[in-house]
């Protein structure tokens, strides 16, 4: 494999600077020579000035050279990013060179780099807008989340949760990067036309730096729609709802000589969707519930419905080999074309060494500006119940249980039984998954109960009441020989279609690592 010269430049520049601090001129000259070689190969354009320096004679001379190189790092960075991260969206998703990408785009706060702006979604409560940044023909994307009403999820609080999850993202890739919190300076620009957006935000959107200040907490109550957050964008991702919602059966209308969807046949599930349940769902759920179990003492999403789960396929037609290292020494591996991302943290519970959701709620209640209802009318309506809860995030099964109901399961059974032995093997796996799903507490009937109090009963193997119970069952399911065989046959036979390996560790100390093939 050819090594990108810009990678070598960064490597030896770091060693060069380190040797200066060690007052070791031998090492300094060694790494200076390496630097000049790779700077010439990388075509940075600064090597003539460096070549004039034949030998470094003193630490002061070395420091001047280091300062000169540092001033020209932007040229080197561009070459590095275009080679290593030709798709910035993909690199941010896998945690590859995120800091360099953010730094190159001035931490996404330089809105003079905005080249495109458009609405992704808009509803009664808020709006999501896509921002495209471009610098020297290298581009990246982010989304700006805006609230339209005081009763929408509070952007300030969502930023606090997102900032906490940024610290967990290096261990667990199922979260999205939160880039910043911003405050409007002047009239809200929710309704501005896209063409005028770039100039308006440059003047009126100010980054909030001291996010833990009581001043901003007060402002989040007085006028919550003045805040917005900037987060990672996942290009071409789909929601879990889009992947799972029932497909209607097609009927032919002889009068109009056309086919139409029969909305009355709402339980129809075709073979492609059947395959999705067998091939994808157990592994999507594992990507979600392994981290939620590990973080269950410090985080709960509280709004885990199927529109808040994104499925991102980095390269169409290729798959990722996931390798999870558990604290008991067990290693779980499987293949999936998707990387799962959980979004929308405005109702989440979190706890870190500085604060937690309950303390924030208590603080809000102490502020007259947030009274008399502790901020409930200012986007904090859900915060009063925010405490550690390992049951609330089973909510996705409210959708799964209704979507893959007994009636739908019977339809799939009919289709599979009419097929070959391979399809009957699929039916066996689907039956085992269906048995797991039926163990999960009925979230439709028990949601209010679970919202107020988690169920912490010791798992009896029969009733799945919290994320720990579910993690135990998912781990057992995907390790069954029939599941491993199907997963391997579906995605793991062709080495050329394996995009890379993603290594995830449960110790909350070892960063996850993506190794591209």
User: pLDDT tens track of the chain, all 517 residues?
Assistant: 333 445 566 666 677 777 777 777 888 778 777 776 766 554 455 555 666 566 787 888 888 877 777 666 655 556 556 656 777 877 888 877 788 888 888 888 888 888 888 888 888 888 888 889 988 888 899 999 988 888 888 999 999 999 999 999 999 999 999 999 998 765 555 555 455 566 666 677 888 887 777 888 888 888 888 899 999 999 889 999 888 776 555 666 676 666 666 655 544 556 667 778 889 999 999 999 999 999 999 999 999 999 999 999 998 999 999 999 999 999 999 999 999 999 999 999 999 998 999 999 888 989 888 878 888 877 787 776 678 888 999 999 888 877 665 555 666 666 666 655 556 677 788 889 989 998 999 877 887 788 778 888 888 888 999 999 999 999 999 999 999 999 999 999 999 999 999 999 999 999 999 998 8
Residues 29 and 46 in one domain: yes
Sorted by sequence, the CB contacts under 8 Å of residue 370 that are 6+ apart come out as 218, 221, 364, 378, 380
Beta bridge partners of 342: 175, 309
Structural domain containing residue 177: 105-235
Say if residues 72 and 65 touch (Cβ distance below 8 Å): no
Instruction: Indicate whether 256 and 139 sit together in one domain.
Output: no
Residue 229 token pair? 């957050």
131 touches 114 (CB < 8 A): yes
Choosing from 215, 235, 255, the residue where a domain stops is: 235
Provide the pLDDT for residue 224. Answer: 87
Question: Does residue 307 share a domain with residue 397?
Answer: yes
CA distance 219 to 225: 10
Q: Is residue 357 part of a domain?
A: no
Q: Return the ∠ at Cα 499 (arms to 495 and 501), rounded to 5°.
A: 95
**Within a domain: residue 47?**
yes
Which phi and psi angles does 87 have, rounded to 5°?
Answer: -110, 100
Taking a C-beta distance cutoff of 8 angstroms, is the pair 506, 323 a contact? no
CB 321 within 8 A of CB 335: yes
Tally: H helices and E strands in the chain: 20, 17
Please tell me whether residues 311 and 430 are part of one structural domain.
Answer: yes
End-to-end, the C-alpha distance of the chain in Å comes to: 10
Region of residue 95 (left: phi > 0; alpha: psi -120 to 50; beta: else)? left
pLDDT of residue 189: 54
| 502 and 397 belong to one structural domain | yes
Q: Would you give the distance in Å from CA 500 to the centre of its chain?
A: 18
Whether residue 130 is found in the same domain as residue 70: no
Check whether residue 176 and residue 265 sit in a common domain.
no
Same-domain pairing of 227 and 244: no
DSSP E strands: which ranges in 249-369? Answer: 249-253, 258-262, 299-300, 309-312, 319-325, 331-336, 339-342, 349-350
| Dihedral sign of CA atoms 377, 380, 382, 384 in order | negative
- Three-class SS of residue 105? coil
Single out the residue in 235, 257, 291 at which a domain terminates.
235
The closest alpha carbon to 386, from 158, 59, 228, belongs to 158
Q: Give me the pLDDT at residue 2, please.
A: 36
372 occurs within a structural domain: no
Q: How many CB atoms lie within 10 A of CB 234?
A: 22
Residues 115 and 14 in one domain: no
Q: Is residue 474 part of a domain?
A: yes
Contact criterion met (CB below 8 Å) for 470 and 488: no
Chain-centre distance for alpha carbon 42: 33
Residues 290 and 192 in one domain: no
Query: Would you say 6 and 79 are in contact if contact means Cβ atoms under 8 Å apart?
Result: yes
The confidence score (pLDDT) of residue 31 equals 74
Four-CA torsion 230, 232, 235, 239, nearest 10 degrees: -90
Instruction: Judge whether 379 lies within some domain.
Output: no
Tokens of residue 370, six digits = 């947030």
The pTM for the full model equals 0.81
Do residues 116 and 132 make contact, with C-beta atoms less than 8 angstroms apart?
yes
- 178, β-bridge pairs: 231
Asked, for residue 358, whether it belongs to a domain, the answer is no
Domain count for the chain: 3
Last residue of a domain, one of 53, 84, 115: 84
Q: Is 199 helix (H, G, I), strand (E, B) or coil?
A: helix
Within a domain: 354: no
> What CATH code is carried by the domain that includes residue 212?
3.30.200
In the prediction, which pLDDT does 421 show? 54
Whether residues 244 and 225 share a domain: the answer is no
- Which residues does residue 460 pair with via DSSP β-bridges, in sequence order? none
Q: Tell me, what's the pLDDT at 4?
A: 44
Are residues 253 and 304 part of one domain? yes
Residue 200 Rama label (left phi>0; alpha psi -120 to 50; beta): alpha
Please check whether residue 39 lies inside any domain of the structure.
yes
């Amino acid at each position: 494999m050819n090594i990108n010269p810009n990678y070598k430049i960064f490597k030896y520049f770091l060693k060069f600077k380190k040797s200066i601090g060690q007052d070791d001129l031998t090492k300094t000259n060694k790494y200076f020579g390496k630097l000049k070689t790779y700077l010439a190969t990388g075509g940075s354009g600064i090597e003539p000035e460096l070549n004039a320096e034949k030998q470094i004679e003193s630490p002061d001379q070395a420091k001047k050279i280091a300062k000169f190189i540092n001033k020209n790092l932007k040229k080197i960075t561009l070459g590095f990013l275009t080679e290593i991260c030709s798709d910035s969206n993909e690199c941010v998703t896998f945690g590859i060179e995120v800091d360099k990408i953010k730094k190159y785009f001035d931490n996404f706060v330089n809105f003079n780099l905005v080249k495109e702006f458009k609405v992704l979604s808009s509803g009664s409560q808020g709006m999501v807008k896509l921002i495209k940044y471009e610098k020297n023909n290298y581009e990246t994307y982010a989304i700006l989340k805006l609230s339209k009403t005081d009763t929408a999820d509070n952007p300030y609080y969502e930023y606090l949760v997102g900032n906490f999850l940024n610290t967990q993202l290096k261990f667990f890739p199922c979260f999205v990067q939160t880039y910043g919190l911003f405050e409007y300076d002047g009239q809200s620009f929710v309704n501005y036309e896209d063409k005028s957006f770039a100039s308006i935000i440059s003047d009126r959107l100010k980054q909030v730096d001291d996010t833990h200040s009581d001043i901003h907490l007060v402002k989040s109550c007085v006028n919550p729609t003045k805040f917005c957050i900037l987060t990672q964008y996942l290009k071409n991702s789909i929601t879990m709802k889009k992947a799972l919602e029932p497909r209607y059966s097609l009927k032919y209308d002889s009068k109009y000589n056309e086919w139409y969807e029969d909305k009355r046949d709402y339980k129809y599930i075709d073979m492609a969707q059947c395959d999705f349940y067998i091939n994808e769902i157990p592994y999507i759920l594992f990507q979600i519930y392994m981290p939620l179990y590990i973080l269950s003492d410090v985080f709960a999403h509280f709004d885990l419905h199927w529109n808040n789960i994104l499925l991102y396929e980095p390269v169409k037609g290729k798959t990722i080999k996931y390798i999870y290292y558990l604290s008991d020494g067990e290693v779980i591996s499987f293949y999936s074309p998707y990387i799962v991302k959980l979004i929308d943290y405005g109702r989440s519970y979190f706890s870190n060494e500085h604060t937690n959701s309950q303390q924030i709620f208590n603080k809000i209640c102490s502020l007259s500006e947030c009274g008399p209802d502790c901020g409930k009318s200012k986007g904090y309506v859900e915060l009063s119940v925010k405490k550690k809860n390992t049951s609330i995030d089973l909510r996705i099964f409210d959708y799964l249980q209704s979507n893959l109901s007994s009636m739908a399961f019977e339809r799939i059974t009919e289709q599979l039984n009419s097929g070959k032995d391979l399809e009957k093997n699929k039916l066996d796996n689907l039956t085992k998954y269906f048995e797991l799903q039926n163990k999960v507490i009925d979230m439709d009937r028990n949601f209010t109960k679970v919202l107020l109090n988690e169920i912490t009963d010791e798992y009896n193997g029969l009733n799945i009441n919290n994320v720990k119970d579910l993690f135990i069952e998912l781990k057992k399911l995907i390790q069954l020989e029939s599941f491993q065989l199907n997963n391997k046959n579906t995605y793991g036979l062709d080495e050329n279609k394996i995009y890379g390996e993603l290594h995830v560790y449960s110790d909350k100390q070892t960063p996850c690592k993506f190794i591209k093939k």
